[in-house]
Structure formats: structure tokens, C-alpha cells
């Protein structure tokens, strides 16, 4: 039987399978045809000995409007991170969303889903934040976008920082919640440096809404009370079905807040880098495998993190389709990694550091059955 690619001898880490096992993956066209190479001949064979093979990762919080926002990076900077799908967190508003889709999303190998900003144009300039005043909201124009892009638009995004909302944060949040309810869409809320206490934001969010930057600690306001315990409002929000996103970035992650929260069993639902032109390939964030490595230093297993970056986004963010898998018949979106044992120090915006001893390093990325990126020196 004829195949396009066979990836041999890799250790399979697939949330759809229990445990880890060494298998071959046979790719024919855009699908995984088999998990044994017996009887197959391929145009190309890749030796993944000593590597972990996972479904292509989802970066659940990025900004990829590179042609319309100073914040944006090209979506195709993501495959070198093992990322095959991503969620843009409101880089465009209803005025420029069609341009974002045409110029950035439709031209990318990476499958990009998106929240649309409640602001008419989203965060165009780093010097001047978007205007989130409720008098700029347009239910009619947002409804038109929802109808036009039913398979890609996930909901509304509100950046509820002091930079955008000023002193009218609660009024702005209530107006955005009302708008999302009218549109029958979830609302994703940036909570970092907010004029509204984060516990009050959590108390107002509903099932399916997204609380972005869960481990931030800007302005001295986090999900932890003065004694270091997770606020009851945060715990109740989780029970209610609110989704908690890491949305790491550089300004929006505190190692101490993460450690204290995780010690109390309060982990994230989504693992997003908040990838932007400010942090891409730079110390502190770099890319999704770097953040995954940081979370391994915080006590997560590789299997837990692969689940957090594959099946969890598909399950929690509607419209994303079936959960990624390496089972035969699944889409051939695949990532290959080495797990290097070496000392590594992770840092945060507040000056804290965290020591780790493993680093997840990407080697190969396959999207729709085609190799779109390979680490120099890997199987050559």
C-alpha cells in the first residue's frame, strides 16, 4: 500500500489513548491511515526515535492580525512551535474583521479560530489601546459576522484593563455581557490590570465565558485573597462552567500566583501563550512548548499538557470540531518533540524565577498531511 509519509519509532502521546507506546504513523493524503507501517511504502520516512509524537497543538490565546495590528504576528510563526491550530483573542473588531480573515486566516497553514473584539477595530496600535466604550458596540454588525463565519468565530472579546476601560469598567463589562447574551455568544474577558476586581468579574461571568489571564497579578489584584487562597467567587465560577485561560504573555503571568493556585488544585482549562509581536520568540514566553516546559516545572506531566493543548480547547471552545487524535482516520495534524533533560530557569514580569530540568523542543510539524516545518538537523 502506498503512503505519503511514515513517522517511525516515536513515542505516541495521545489523549485519545491510555498510556504511551512506541508506534509508527502512516500518513496518506490528509489523514492518518494506520499506526503500523507493516505493508506500507512511503515517499518519505521520518525516524522519530527518542522523540514524542503528539497531535498538533492548539495555542488557545494568540494575536495573529499581522497586517492590521502592531500587536499581531504571522500565524505561520506557530508551526515551529508544534502548533497546528490557534485561537486569536480579539485582534480585530467588526470594522476590520473581514480583512483579518482574508489577509491572515485564509492564507495560513494553521487553522485559526477567533474571538471578535467588542471595539470597532480592536487593538490596532500599541501606543493607543482600543476604545471599548459601549456606545461603539454594534449588535447588528457583529450578528452579520456571526452569520458569515459560523465555523471560525467563537464569541466576543473584551479587554477590561485600565488602559481600555478607565474608571468605567463595570459599566463596560455589563454592556458587553448584555451584548453577548443578545448574540447568544460567549464573552472572553481580559482581566489583567482591571478597574473591576477580578473576583467580581468572575462572579458575573456565565457558563462558556472565558476568564483570560487567570494567573496574572497586575495592580496587586489576582484570583488569590490576602491569605493566598483562591477567592470563593473564582471557585464558584468554575463550578458554573466559566473557562479559565492562562493567556500567559509577559505582563499577564505570575509564577507565585500560579504556584499558590496549583497547590490548591486550581489548574487552568486552556493553555495559551498570548503570542504577539511583543513576546514572540523572546525570553519569558518564546512559544507554546516553552510555556508547557514551565508548567512541567510547576508539576504537570507531559500527557496532561498535551491534553490541555489538544482535546481541552476542542471540548471547551465550541465550533472547533472533533478532538485532535493520532488514531487512524484522524486528520494528519502532528507534532514531534524531544524532551531534553537540562537545567532551565523560567522568569516572569515580577522578577520571580522558577527552576526546571526539562525543556520540550519541537522537531517536526505536519499539517493536513504535509510537513510544514522541520528542525534543522532533525532526521537529515
Q: Compute the average pLDDT of residues 371-380.
A: 90
DSSP state string for 314-352:
HHHSTTS-SPP--STTSB--EEEEEEEEEEEEEE-TTS-
Strands (E), 230-333: 243-245
Phi, psi dihedrals of residue 32, rounded to the nearest 5°: -80, 115
Q: Compute the average pLDDT of residues 141-147.
A: 98
**Do 58 and 50 contact (CB within 8 A), yes or no?**
no
Q: Which pLDDT score is estimated for 358?
A: 97
Longest pairwise C-alpha distance within the chain: 67
Is the pLDDT confidence value at 168 over 70?
Answer: yes
> Where do the domains of the chain lie, and which CATH numbers do they carry?
2-54+328-374 (2.30.40.10), 56-316 (3.20.20.140)
Bridge partners, residue 7, by sequence: 25, 46
Q: Which pLDDT score is estimated for 282?
A: 86
Q: Which pLDDT score is estimated for 16?
A: 85
> In this structure, are strands 57-62 and 52-55 parallel, antiparallel, or unpaired?
unpaired
Q: Compute the average pLDDT of residues 135-163.
A: 96
List pLDDT tens digits, range 214-273: 999 998 899 999 999 999 999 999 999 999 999 999 999 999 999 999 999 999 999 999
List pLDDT tens digits, range 11-58: 999 998 878 899 999 999 999 999 999 999 999 999 999 999 999 999
Q: Compute the average pLDDT of residues 143-151.
A: 95
List pLDDT tens digits, range 340-374: 999 999 999 999 999 999 999 999 999 999 999 99
Is the pLDDT confidence value at 320 over 70?
Answer: no
Q: How confident is the model at residue 318 (pLDDT cuts 50, 70, 90)?
A: low
* In the chain, % of residues over pLDDT 70: 99
Query: Angle at the Cα of 130 (from 114 to 178), degrees rounded to 5?
Result: 65
Q: What is the 3-state secondary structure (H, E, C) of 16-54?
A: CCCCCEEEEEEEECCEEEECCCCCCEEEEEEECCCCEEE
Is the pLDDT confidence value at 322 over 90?
Answer: no
Distances (CA, A) of 315 to 161, 310, 318, 321: 28, 9, 7, 8
Q: How confident is the model at residue 323 (pLDDT cuts 50, 70, 90)?
A: confident
- Which has the higher per-residue pLDDT, 354 or 279? 354
Conformational region of residue 362, where left means phi above 0, alpha means psi within -120 to 50, and beta covers everything else: beta
Query: Angle at the Cα of 261 (from 259 to 264), degrees rounded to 5?
Result: 110
Looking at 95-197, list the stretches that DSSP marks H as alpha helix, in order from N- to C-terminal side. 97-100, 139-148, 162-165, 169-183
Q: How confident is the model at residue 380 (pLDDT cuts 50, 70, 90)?
A: low
Amino acid at each position: 500500500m502506498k503512503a505519503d509519509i511514515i513517522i517511525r519509532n516515536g513515542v505516541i502521546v495521545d489523549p485519545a489513548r491510555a498510556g504511551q507506546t512506541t508506534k509508527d504513523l502512516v500518513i496518506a493524503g490528509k489523514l492518518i491511515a494506520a499506526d503500523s507501517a507493516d505493508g506500507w511504502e512511503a515517499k518519505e520516512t521520518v525516524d522519530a526515535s527518542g522523540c514524542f509524537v503528539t497531535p498538533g497543538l492548539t495555542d488557545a490565546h494568540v494575536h495573529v492580525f499581522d497586517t492590521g495590528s502592531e500587536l499581531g504576528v504571522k500565524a505561520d510563526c506557530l508551526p515551529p512551535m508544534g502548533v497546528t491550530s490557534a485561537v486569536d483573542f480579539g485582534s480585530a473588531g467588526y470594522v476590520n474583521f473581514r480583512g483579518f480573515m482574508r489577509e491572515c486566516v485564509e492564507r495560513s497553514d494553521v487553522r485559526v479560530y477567533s474571538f471578535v473584539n467588542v471595539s470597532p477595530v480592536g487593538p490596532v496600535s500599541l501606543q493607543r489601546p482600543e476604545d471599548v466604550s459601549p456606545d461603539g458596540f454594534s449588535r447588528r454588525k457583529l450578528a452579520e459576522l456571526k452569520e458569515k463565519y459560523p465555523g471560525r468565530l467563537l464569541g466576543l472579546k473584551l479587554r477590561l484593563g485600565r488602559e481600555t476601560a478607565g474608571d468605567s469598567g463595570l459599566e463596560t463589562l455589563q454592556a458587553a455581557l448584555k451584548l453577548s447574551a443578545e448574540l447568544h455568544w460567549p464573552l472572553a474577558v481580559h482581566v489583567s490590570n482591571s478597574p473591576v476586581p477580578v473576583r467580581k468579574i468572575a462572579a458575573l461571568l456565565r457558563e462558556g465565558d472565558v476568564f483570560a489571564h487567570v494567573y496574572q497579578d497586575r495592580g496587586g489584584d489576582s484570583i488569590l485573597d490576602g491569605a493566598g487562597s483562591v477567592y470563593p467567587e473564582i471557585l464558584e465560577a468554575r463550578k458554573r462552567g466559566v473557562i479559565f485561560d492562562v493567556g500567559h504573555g509577559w505582563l499577564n503571568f505570575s509564577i507565585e500566583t500560579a504556584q499558590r493556585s496549583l497547590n490548591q488544585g486550581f489548574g487552568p482549562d486552556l493553555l495559551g501563550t498570548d503570542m504577539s509581536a511583543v513576546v514572540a520568540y523572546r525570553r519569558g514566553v518564546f512559544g507554546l512548548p516553552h510555556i508547557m516546559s514551565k508548567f512541567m516545572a510547576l508539576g504537570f506531566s507531559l500527557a496532561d499538557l498535551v491534553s490541555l493543548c489538544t482535546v481541552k480547547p476542542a471540548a471547551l471552545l465550541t465550533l472547533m470540531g472533533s478532538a485532535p487524535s493520532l488514531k487512524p482516520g484522524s486528520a494528519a495534524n502532528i507534532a514531534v518533540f524531544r524532551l531534553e533533560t537540562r537545567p532551565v530557569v523560567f522568569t516572569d514580569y515580577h522578577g520571580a524565577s522558577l527552576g526546571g530540568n526539562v525543556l520540550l523542543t519541537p522537531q517536526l510539524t505536519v499539517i493536513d498531511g504535509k510537513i510544514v516545518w522541520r528542525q534543522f538537523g532533525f532526521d537529515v
